Homo-oligomer: A and B are copies of this chain.
């Protein structure tokens, strides 16, 4: 075995976080060999013409990922860590450019798994058109972590004139989602072995920046978009209702939900409206641009299941109400407590 394959066949030790030779070898052979940073300085140094445009804003966001298990149908912690941060930038109208990656490894963690995760990050970053430009590695003792936690932070540019804000949503605006709800939450449940699910549910984990750009080209007045991750669609809608001071009405019959996700949720007493997503957003657009936005979304690979699900209204400000399948109306509140820990 050469030096690299010897390392890749091993396990993480505390020395891999110690700042010495073992750490440099890990960084060289596992991280730098795949992320290909421009230099070995302590910080990436970056230029982009979009940053220089008068009126452009820099967008900056961060997310740590602690999902368990590390690999699941449709994704893994590496893919999620790239999609999550890309999507947090994209829903603000930013063009995501650069990501950082910080790893907290547990002593004893299998390096072959780490390599798969890193390769998944590289592959997802390529798909999203972003570069992972800087990173960090720490190691904690056995029993003080859980395999690997990943933080990604992201920097992007919001072109001049774009101002997507939850507080800008107005009564009459149409709410559109791009994907079936709750697939990620259900896929994680299945991967934990807590219930028998067929293989047909996979996480929706995907970058949404391409979809956002496609929408904004034809519907430049999109008011706001939210990535419906932890807390699901219900939490995103409640945040928007709060910020904008509007009511929101959705119709249960319009919500795209996989029949198996619906079935599992019924059995377990979960609600797909609160299940996490990792590649599903909800956006609000003035009615005049709603059809154009929907068509543009449907034409993207991340949005072929797109559907109008309701609208913002003058009534019941700051409340989200759902018209149920049976003709009743119920309040869709902010999630209290939680459905599933360590979903992302």
Contact = CB atoms under 8 A, between A and B. Distances in A.
Interface of A: 14-15, 17-24, 39-48, 51-52, 54, 57-66, 88-89, 91-92, 94, 98, 100-104, 133-136, 138-141, 143-146, 149, 151, 153-156, 158, 164-166, 226-227, 229-232, 235, 239, 243, 274, 276, 334-342, 344
Nearest to A164: B41
B104 A24 contact: no
Contacts of A134: 60-62
B64 A45 contact: no
Given A17-B342, A18-B340, A62-B153, 9 more contacts: A18-B338, A20-B335, A21-B334, A47-B58, A62-B102, A64-B138, A140-B342, A141-B341, A153-B153
Contact of A19 (B23, B48, B231): B231
Interface centre among A47, A134, A232 (most CB of B within 10 A): A134
- Judged by DSSP, the binding face of A is mixed
A261 B156 CA distance: 44
Given A42-B92, A226-B42, A60 B155 contact: yes
B63 A136 contact: yes
A51 B55 CA distance: 11
Given A14-B338, A136-B63, A43 B153 contact: no
